[in-house]
Amino acid sequence: MTDKARLGESIPAFSLPATNDRTITDSDFSGHYTILYFYPKDNTPGCTTEGQDFSAAYAELKQLNAQVFGVSKDSIRKHENFKAKFDFPFDLISDPDETLCNIFDVIKLKKNYGREYMGIERSTFLISPEGKLIHEWRKVKVKEHVKEVMDTLKTLSE
């Protein structure tokens, strides 16, 4: 069983592939705030909008000493295409085995057109420069979400 991320505690160790031939590990989270947002699927309307919202806010997030990573179960190839298509300035982490999904407990029973299945519940996590989980948003609604994350970051850096 994977260790779980808990508020106020350090993120459990992990290592996963990401776009730009990167391997992202928990040690990549030290030294700046990290926004880790989990989304169901590349190239779907809500996920595209969420990515574009984080892109639009990216320069300001960087000024607040924050980095952004998107996470879904899609393959690196799909992630590279999604990132290129919408020119995301941040990397996307591929989690086909649900390693990070399980650490952050985002795999939930979902219902769509009467069908039930296990999938990623749209969620965002804020990790401190010391690598500790300091804020979480679950069951995220895309509209205004990036602004909420930004407002939280601003209050932390005051």
Strand-by-strand arrangement of the 133-137 sheet: 22-25, 15-18, 91-94, 66-72, 33-38, 123-127, 133-137
Using CA atoms, how far residue 29 sits from 11, 69, 127, 128, 143, in Å, is 9, 10, 7, 8, 26
**Active site residue ranges:** 47
Are the C-beta atoms of residues 107 and 26 closer than 8 Å to each other? no
DSSP 8-state code for residue 26: G
Return the SS3 of 58: helix
